Amino acid sequence: MDLSLSRGRSLLLLALAAVIVAAPMVLPGIEGAFSGTDDVASQAVEAARPGYIRWIEPLWSPPSKEIEGTIFALQAALGAGILGYVLGRRHGSRRRDVDDR
């Protein structure tokens, strides 16, 4: 199976990725009020039960949303790195098993 891409197809995919990334910044109607699932869940709980009191508080809260986003991005990058490593090792071991036969 040939997985190589032609130059035209590569450029088309690159342009499509750029459009997907740029579209939310350009499209009208988006106010920039993005929030995470934790914020949405907290708002839903507040709406359902106005007097709700949390059972526990976080041990540490990041000082700003930027730092929170950076920590989340680092966590995602670390997870992707570990997943890529594991998949690469499994792929390599299968390839060695086939070559040894």
Range of the structural domain that residue 89 is part of: 7-100
64 inside domain: yes
pLDDT at residue 27 in the model? 78
Quick: pLDDT tens for 43-86: 888 899 988 888 888 898 888 878 888 898 999 999 999 999 99
1 inside domain: no
Quick: pLDDT tens for 4-44: 678 888 999 999 999 988 887 777 766 656 667 777 888 88
Q: Per the confidence metrics, is the pTM higher than 0.75?
A: no
**Contacts with 68 (C-beta within 8 Å, 6 or more apart), sequence order:** 62
50 inside domain: yes
2 inside domain: no
DSSP label at residue 3: -
For the chain, the domain total comes to: 1
74 inside domain: yes
As given in the structure block, the two tokens for residue 78 are: 């670390």
pLDDT at residue 47 in the model? 92
